[in-house]
């Protein structure tokens, strides 16, 4: 098992990703998921590649990274044609970037059934109106077909991350249920480049709002689709929102990893406000 730390980790608040990664390296952290916790600047991609070569790092590229000069919501199921094109182009660009890393893996969120805007505080705000789920999934799979064709030629694996409802009344996220996940994996059952990023925290929120048993769902996914799990995200929450709280070294997520011996998977700590001491303790457990 390889334990990764996300760049969203807030103990190091440098928004310049180069400085943040160098702080990680000083602490002995070389397995790093490139995710949140950074601002855009010219030359960010060059800095990442230089650090990778200089320190022989093990990067995984995740979702909306590198940050862009003009922000947008990454959504390969978008009903907005302009946003959809931006999203597919961004994913392809990141596949190229991921092909230069050891992991040769790019993971990202499944997508959303509504047009989303980003508030000043960084939260998603959906447009009003009804959802056409059939249209959403048609767009999602058409986009994924195009992305996988490109990824296969580059030799880069794609991990789709499970999501969760916004609240009890409203769900515009896709890939929240076991049925949705199974449909995707079955559709691409013969494509070794398509797999799943299981986010344990996301599944906890989805179970809370959608009324299914979290532990039984994870037991089933791991038993049936272990080989299709490309990566695991771990962070804690109370069930009502994705809080990215630090996990406990004796918590349910660590126990699940141990019980199923998921030591062959990249496991990414996404919890915020982590201490280096806690990371060391978790690494000894798993």
Q: What are the angstrom distances between the C-alpha of 1 and each of 57, 60, 118, 160, 285?
A: 16, 14, 36, 20, 11
Token pair 């608040």 in the structure block, residue: 13
Name the pLDDT band for 1 (thresholds 50, 70, 90): low
Omega before 183 within 30 of 0, i.e. cis? no
Is the pLDDT at 65 greater than 80? The verdict is yes
Please give the mean pLDDT across all residues of the chain.
93
Please give the Cα distance from 78 to 70 (Å, whole number): 18
Predicted confidence at residue 193, as pLDDT, reads 99
Determine the 3-state secondary structure of 283 from DSSP: helix
Q: Render pLDDT for 203-250 as a digit per residue (tens, 0 to 9).
A: 999 999 999 999 999 999 999 999 999 999 999 999 999 998 888 888
CATH code of 200's domain: 3.20.20.150
Q: Render pLDDT for 121-166 as a digit per residue (tens, 0 to 9).
A: 666 788 888 999 999 999 999 999 999 999 999 999 999 999 999 8
Q: Render pLDDT for 162-188 as a digit per residue (tens, 0 to 9).
A: 999 988 888 999 999 999 999 999 999
The number of domains in the chain is: 1
Is the pLDDT at 63 greater than 60? The verdict is yes
Q: What is the pTM of this model?
A: 0.95
Q: Render pLDDT for 265-285 as a digit per residue (tens, 0 to 9).
A: 999 998 777 767 777 777 776
Q: What is the CA radius of gyration of the chain?
A: 18
Please give the Cα distance from 272 to 246 (Å, whole number): 6
- Where is mean pLDDT largest: 104-108, 248-252, 256-260? 104-108
Predicted confidence at residue 156, as pLDDT, reads 99
Name the pLDDT band for 12 (thresholds 50, 70, 90): low
Query: What percent of the chain clears pLDDT 90, i.e. is strictly above it?
Result: 78
Range of the domain at 184: 2-285
Mean per-residue pLDDT, 56-81: 96
Predicted confidence at residue 127, as pLDDT, reads 84
């Amino acid at each position: 098992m390889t334990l990764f730390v996300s760049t969203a980790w807030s103990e190091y608040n440098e928004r310049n990703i180069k400085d943040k990664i160098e702080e990680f390296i000083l602490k002995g952290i070389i397995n790093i998921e490139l995710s949140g916790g950074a601002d855009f600047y010219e030359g960010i991609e060059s800095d990442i590649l230089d650090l990778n070569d200089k320190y022989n790092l093990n990067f995984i590229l995740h979702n909306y990274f590198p940050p862009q000069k003009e922000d947008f919501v990454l959504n390969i199921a978008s009903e907005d044609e302009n946003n959809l094109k931006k999203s597919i182009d961004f994913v392809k660009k990141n596949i190229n970037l991921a092909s230069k890393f050891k992991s040769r893996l790019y993971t990202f969120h499944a997508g959303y059934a509504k047009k989303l805007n980003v508030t000043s505080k960084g939260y998603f705000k959906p447009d009003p109106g009804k959802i056409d789920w059939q249209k959403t999934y048609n767009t999602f799979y058409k986009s994924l077909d195009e992305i996988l064709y490109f990824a296969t030629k580059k030799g880069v694996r794609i991990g789709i991350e499970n999501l969760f409802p916004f609240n009890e009344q409203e769900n515009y996220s896709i890939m929240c249920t076991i049925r949705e996940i199974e449909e995707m994996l079955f559709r691409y059952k013969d494509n070794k480049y398509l797999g799943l990023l299981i986010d344990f925290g996301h599944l906890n929120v989805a179970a809370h709002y959608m009324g299914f048993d979290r532990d039984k769902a994870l037991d089933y996914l791991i038993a049936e689709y272990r080989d299709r799990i490309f990566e695991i995200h771990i962070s804690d929450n109370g069930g009502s929102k994705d809080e990215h709280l630090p996990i406990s070294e004796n918590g349910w997520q660590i126990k699940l990893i141990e019980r199923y011996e998921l030591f062959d998977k990249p496991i990414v700590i996404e919890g915020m406000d982590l201490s280096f001491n806690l990371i060391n303790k978790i690494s000894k457990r798993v």
